[in-house]
Amino acid sequence: MEKISQMISKDSEDRRNISELYNKMTIKELNEMVPEIPWLEYITKVLSLKDLKITEDERINVNVPEYIKKLAELLKNTPKRN
């Protein structure tokens, strides 16, 4: 699995470019970019926030959008385990 991650990740030199790692967008924009993943549901569950309501208008930073796109493609093409 590590090799696959390396194939879809930026190399270490590219990850040093801070301006490429700052990509503000709304959760709605992220959903439009990668609709295969239910982002609002995922973010809400990961953060486990009971008192704070997150909406699709919430602005977030997506460090490497290209990685997210490639990850979604990888997930789509990987057979599910039984």
Q: Model confidence over 1-21: pLDDT tens digits?
A: 445 555 555 556 655 666 667
What is the predicted pLDDT for the residue at 74?
87
Long-range CB pairs of 63-70 (<8 Å, 24+ gap) are 63/21, 63/22, 63/23, 64/9, 64/10, 64/15, 64/20, 64/21, 64/23, 65/23, 65/25, 65/33, 66/10, 67/8, 67/9, 67/10, 68/30, 68/33, 68/34, 69/33, 69/34, 70/8
Task: Say yes or no to pLDDT of 44 above 80.
Answer: yes
For the entire predicted model, the pTM comes to 0.70
